[in-house]
């Protein structure tokens, strides 16, 4: 079955180029020039994935993302931005985006990220969001565990419902944030290296220069480390990250 992509990009040259690229790769692509057209297209026919430029006239990509998430639309969203500051990227994640790319970017990386988003969307729809157990490569991993609630200190992760609590407080996470936290929780106490995490969450290792993982870890910490609670996600410099009890 052909997968569908909705692309919202106000720069016509970039939009036409991406439409051609994605069409050649076998996607069915709808290209629009602004956020108003993007929302109308989604409401008319829900795509498998959205690619949204942040800076668009009228309703921008962030606003489109917020509207769809407020409507409980969980379609995977990849944001495109020319802004390189971490705060700008975090704004996209806060709006509910699943991933972001900074312009200019390589076509192969864009395609890899789309494939990863679509794979995860299928896994969530068909398997209740489970990562399926152990991690392969780059770190020793625990054996597969059933999809019961995972508990680490006062953190609870429910893979079946894809819900998270810290103490009695439920924590709202985006698709990517949840996937990353579940991976860490399933391997609590084990240090997962960057390459392993990129492979399991994004399906692609973006290399040592990528800030993607660090941004998502920081965002998870801001949501999980409630006032008066100890930090659960720890950085092991030069290696990766681990989730463990204080």
- Over residues 65-94, the pLDDT tens digits come to 888 988 888 899 999 988 766 666 667 777
The domain tally of the chain equals 2
Note the pLDDT tens digit of each residue in 196-235: 888 788 776 666 667 778 888 988 999 999 888 899 999 9
pTM above the 0.75 mark? no
CA 41 to chain centre: 22
DSSP assigned state of 167:
T
pLDDT averaged over every residue in the chain = 83
Domain limits at 199? 150-243
pLDDT at 134: 33
Whether 70 and 181 share a structural domain:
no
139 in a domain, yes or no?
no
**Which among 85, 112, 127 is the end of a domain?**
127
Whether 173 and 61 share a structural domain:
no
Whether 112 and 198 share a structural domain:
no
CB atoms within 10 A of CB 107: 12
pLDDT at 174: 85
Please give the radius of gyration of the chain, using alpha carbons only, rounded to the nearest integer. Answer: 18
143 in a domain, yes or no?
no
Residues contacting residue 213 through CB under 8 Å, at least 6 positions apart: 194, 197, 198, 241
Whether 104 and 186 share a structural domain:
no
Whether 161 and 98 share a structural domain:
no
Question: What would the two tokens of residue 86 be?
Answer: 């971490």
CB atoms within 10 A of CB 232: 23
């Amino acid at each position: 079955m052909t997968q569908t992509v909705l692309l919202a990009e106000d720069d016509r040259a970039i939009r036409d180029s991406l439409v051609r690229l994605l069409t050649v790769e076998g996607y069915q692509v709808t290209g629009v020039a602004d956020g108003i057209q993007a929302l109308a297209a989604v409401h008319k026919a829900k795509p498998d994935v959205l690619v949204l430029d942040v800076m668009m006239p009228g309703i921008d990509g962030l606003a489109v993302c917020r509207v769809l998430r407020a409507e409980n639309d969980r379609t995977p969203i990849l944001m495109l931005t020319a802004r390189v500051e971490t705060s700008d990227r975090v704004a996209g994640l806060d709006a509910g985006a699943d991933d972001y790319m900074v312009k200019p970017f390589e076509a192969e990386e864009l395609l890899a990220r789309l494939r990863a988003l679509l794979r995860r969307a299928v896994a969530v729809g068909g398997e209740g969001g489970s990562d399926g157990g152990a991690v392969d490569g780059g770190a020793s991993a625990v054996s597969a565990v059933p999809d019961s609630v995972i508990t680490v200190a006062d953190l609870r992760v429910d893979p079946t419902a894809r819900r998270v609590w810290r103490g009695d407080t439920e924590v709202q996470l985006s698709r990517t944030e949840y996937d990353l936290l579940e991976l860490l929780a399933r391997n609590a106490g084990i240090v997962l290296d960057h390459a392993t995490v990129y492979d399991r969450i994004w399906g692609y290792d973006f290399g040592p220069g990528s800030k993607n993982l660090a941004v998502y870890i920081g965002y998870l910490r801001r949501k999980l480390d409630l006032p008066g609670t100890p930090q659960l996600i720890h950085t092991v410099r030069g290696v990766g990250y681990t989730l463990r009890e204080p």
